[in-house]
Structure 1
Amino acid sequence: MADHEHDHDHALSGGKFLFVTVLNALITLVEFLGGIFAGSLSLISDGFHNLGDSLSVVLSYYAHRISGRPQTSKNTYGFKRAQIISAFVNSVFLIVVSGFLIIEAVQKLMQPEKVDGSLMFIVAIISTIANFISAVLLSRGSKGNLNVRATYLHFLSDSLSSVGIIIAGILINVFGWYFTDPLVTIIVAVYIMFETWPIIKKTIYILMQGAPSVDCQSLKKDILSVDGVTNVHHVHIWSIDENSIIFSAHVNMHDMLISDAEKIYQPISDLLKRKYNIDHVTIQAEVERGKEEDFFFDQGTDIK
């Protein structure tokens, strides 16, 4: 987890944030102008993607800053989910834009229009270099953070889109295949949707308090193996973000002093941290109460 946080800080430092934002704002302008003068839908669509990239970086950066704020009396778990919300918004934006571009591209594919392949080629070369630089700058942080990954995918998809436009420009110049312009738009848009959908699913799962990938049978067995524990029930496991797991449970113990029960809490917390990477553990000690209840409380009355 510490490595993830280091990567994330490295990926979204202020200098990189400013450089990537300014670079993509300039490329957006170049592609819009190039698309208009060349009559290229793929260049204009790539310009929209780059505009999305700039917005994505700004949103990701501020979500990163917000997520680092300390806990408050109103936000007792802190602000880590700002990054999950940012990843969700960025991903939905990509899906929506891709959908509109596919519709426009299909219309262009049915009635291809003349395109300036040479201008397409030149602008796409510039765009490819710029997007590749941006993607490299964010590549490390993308491995451990959904927010950075959503932003990284913006740039990666634009790099691929620009390569497709280069190929289309060559085919238009050599063979006069104007249909390759909208075809590239469709291919890249479908690829973006394919890559983005898993992020949307995962962010929704986290926002809906879904349990992380934990072997619950193994977890129960491990807790029961702790000396002094007789049963565990009423368990809740959820994630604040993709790296922070919360755990709460009612643990049955032998009748003892609270000070003695506290000595059992620590081995449980250490076990959950070491083996399951669970950061925050809340235990309610009980003797007989709830001993017959299920591991996961399913009576429909524990949360109203």
Structure 2
Amino acid sequence: MHDNSLTGQRFFIVTALNILITVAEFLGGIFSGSLALISDAFHNLGDGAAIVMAYAASRISRKKSNQHKTFGYRRAEIISSYLNAIFLIVISVFLIVEAGKRIFEPTKINGILMLIVAIIGLFANAGSALLLNSGKTNNLNIKATYLHFLSDALSSVGVIIGAIVIQLFNITWVDPLVTILVSLYIIKETFPILRDSTNILMQSGPDLDYEAMALDMEKVCGVVSVHHIHAWMIDENRIIFSAHINLQDQMLSNVEVTYQAVEKLLTEKYHVDHVTLQAEVERGRDATKFTTNQNDI
């Protein structure tokens, strides 16, 4: 089983590495004249905010549900990943604009100092990414933070190559070019996180075959038809499902048996975590599967 949370020890180590490299790259960028280093420093500053938010969100998400948060606090991590993604995209766009200006107005750059600081940044960011690697698969929040550090590690590689080219051939426009390429890569990698977190916050339906689900439910003994289907996600791993099912007029004790059969089907075949069913006899029998009226909201 993967550890999908941020432990205090990992949080402390990653934060310490982040502070170290942010200060080093800001100073290195100022004294060397490298926009690529300063862009790396901005990304690392964002990483600092990201890791603090991720850690806080992971702690909040463990709180138990109550009368005010009946589904618990799991979406704290989704909000964190959403804000982190927006921050990365905004910073990347800003750096692309600044790099474009530098291409037409090149400045003198100290390639040696740029190279030394970039190497330090590579090791610090790669180490941070490795610490977060185990939890990124099933957690959007940790994935967003992981991508912060991975993108900075790749950025450091680009800065190293740029520093070598600048030092050997004095081609200063390589520095803003590296900044643009890295920023475009970050936008590409971040957009899916922004899309997924937005869909979850908007309670978009998860990627399920709803027609097949409805047909399978109608095959359960006692179920006549299914309508008013709703599905959404609390976080990237937990699916919530509700539906109205028409049954033959019968005793409530028999309805409970049908409920259990439908819940077992949805849990085992479609990996739904929480099922809510409303039994009806005639009401809604002619409704379409996804029709919603105000009484259902």
TM exceeding 0.5: yes
CA distance in 1 between counterparts of 2:187 and 2:296 reads 36
CA distance in 1 between counterparts of 2:82 and 2:288 reads 34
- Structure 1 residue 82 displacement after superposition: 0.6
CA distance in 1 between counterparts of 2:29 and 2:279 reads 66
CA distance in 1 between counterparts of 2:64 and 2:264 reads 24
Structure 2 counterparts to residues 60-99 of structure 1, below 5 A? 60-99=54-93
Aligned residue number for residue 24 of structure 1: 18
Aligned residue number for residue 145 of structure 1: 139
Structure 2 counterparts to residues 1-304 of structure 1, below 5 A? 3=1, 6-9=2-5, 12-298=6-292, 300-303=293-296
Contact 1:273–1:279 at 8 Å: present in 2 too? yes
Equivalent residue of 1:282, what SS? strand
TM-score (norm 2): 0.98
Tell me which stretches of 4 or more aligned residues in structure 1 moved more than 6 Å: none
- Sequence identity (%): 52
CA distance in 1 between counterparts of 2:154 and 2:128 reads 13
Equivalent residue letter for 1:301 = Q
Equivalent residue of 2:294, what SS? coil
- Structure 1 residue 256 displacement after superposition: 1.2
CA distance in 1 between counterparts of 2:169 and 2:15 reads 37
Task: Map Cα deviations across residues 102-124 of structure 1 (whole Å, 9 max, x no partner).
Answer: 11111111111110000111111
TM-score (norm 1): 0.95
CA distance in 2 between counterparts of 1:172 and 1:247 reads 58
Contact 1:7–1:144 at 8 Å: present in 2 too? no
Residues 228 and 301 of structure 1: CA distance in aligned 2, closer, same or farther (over 3 Å):
same
Equivalent residue letter for 2:191 = W
- Structure 1 residue 217 displacement after superposition: 1.1
Instruction: Could you tell me which runs of 5 or more consecutive residues in structure 2 were left unpaired when the two chains were aligned.
Output: none
Equivalent residue letter for 1:88 = Y
Contact 1:21–1:57 at 8 Å: present in 2 too? yes
Contact 1:94–1:193 at 8 Å: present in 2 too? yes
Equivalent residue letter for 1:139 = N
CA distance in 1 between counterparts of 2:284 and 2:98 reads 60
- Structure 1 residue 232 displacement after superposition: 0.8
Q: How many residues align?
A: 297
Equivalent residue of 1:36, what SS? helix
CA RMSD of aligned residues (A): 1.1
Task: Map Cα deviations across residues 206-239 of structure 1 (whole Å, 9 max, x no partner).
Answer: 1111000000111011101111111111111111
Task: Map Cα deviations across residues 230-249 of structure 1 (whole Å, 9 max, x no partner).
Answer: 11111111111111111111
Equivalent residue letter for 2:33 = G
Instruction: Could you tell me which runs of 5 or more consecutive residues in structure 1 were left unpaired when the two chains were aligned.
Output: none
Equivalent residue of 1:284, what SS? strand
